[in-house]
Structure formats: C-alpha cells, structure tokens
Amino acid sequence: MAEPAPKTPPDVPVYDSSSVQREYRRHRAKRQARARRTRQRRANNMRFWLIVIALIALSVYLSIAMWHQVQRLFGL
C-alpha cells in the first residue's frame, strides 16, 4: 500500500529586522513627500491667485488714472 507523501510545513518567511525598518522609513518618507507636495501645491495656487488679483487691481487703478488724465486734458 502506498504511503502518503510527507507534509512539509509551509515556508515561513524570514524577516530581516533591518529590512523591515528600512521599508518603514521608506513608506514614511513617501507619506511625508506626498504631504509636502500637497502643501506646496496649495501655496503655489494661493500665490497664483494673489498675483492675478494684484494685477487686476493694478490694471483697474491704471485705467482709472488714465481716464482722469484724458478727462483733464480734453475737458470731457
């Protein structure tokens, strides 16, 4: 009669503590980089809109100043 094949235990992965720590640090660095990119994107967006608003305000001011000069010169 045939005997069943001997059961071998499943391969238990061997963890190297330094590689676990290295992966932990790598994932933490990725999270921090993602957060830093998000903060920079928000700051850049805010800076863009502030400059746009400042340029619009400047153009309105210059338009009003030029209009007053035209009225003064031509007596409109």
Does residue 57 lie in a domain region? yes
Residue ranges making up the domain that contains 40: 20-76
Per-residue pLDDT tens over the stretch 22-74? 999 999 999 999 999 999 999 999 999 999 999 999 999 999 999 999 999 99
Cα–Cα distance between 33 and 43 in angstroms, integer? 15
pTM: 0.60
Cα–Cα distance between 44 and 70 in angstroms, integer? 39
Cα–Cα distance between 41 and 33 in angstroms, integer? 12
Does residue 6 lie in a domain region? no
Q: For the chain, how big is the Rg over CA atoms in Å? A: 34
Tally of domains in the chain:
1
Q: Sign of the CA dihedral 68, 73, 75, 76?
A: negative
For residue 76, the one-letter residue type is L
DSSP 3-state assignment of 13?
coil
Does residue 15 lie in a domain region? no
Res. 8 pLDDT band, cuts 50 70 90: low
